[in-house]
Amino acid sequence: MLYLVILVILFPCMSSPTDLEQSILRTLCWFAVFDQSITGFEIWKWLVEPARAYDLSEVYRVLEGSEWVKSRVQEEGGYYVLHSPSPYKGEGRGEVLRREAVSLRSRNYLDATKKFRKLKRASHYFRLFSSTRAVAAVNSIAWMNTNEKSDIDLFVVTKPKSIWSTRFWMVAPFIALRKRPGASNQDPFCFSFFATSNALAMDHLRLKEGDHYFAFWLKSIVPMFDHDGHLEKLQDENAWADHMLPNASPRTVHPLHKTSLTFPTFPTFPTFQTFYRSLSQKRFPIAIRNLANKDSRVVISDDMLKFHETDRRAEFEEAYCTFVKQTMV
For residue range 33-59, list pLDDT tens digits in order. 988 889 999 999 999 999 999 999 999
How many residues in the chain? Answer: 329
- Confidence (pLDDT) at 26: 98
Closest CA to 130 of 266, 8, 289, 293: 266
Instruction: Delimit the domains of the chain by residue range.
Output: 17-98, 109-311
- How far CA 79 is from CA of 10, 45, 57, in Å, comes to 30, 14, 16
Residue of 66, 63, 68 whose CA lies nearest to 81 = 63
pLDDT at 102: 72
Which CATH architecture fits 109-311?
2-Layer Sandwich (3.30)
What pLDDT score was predicted for residue 171? 96
- The rounded mean pLDDT for the chain is 89
Of 161 and 87, the one with more pLDDT: 161
Q: What is the mean pLDDT of residues 254-267?
A: 74
Look at the domain 17-98 and name its fold.
Arc Repressor Mutant, subunit A (1.10.10)
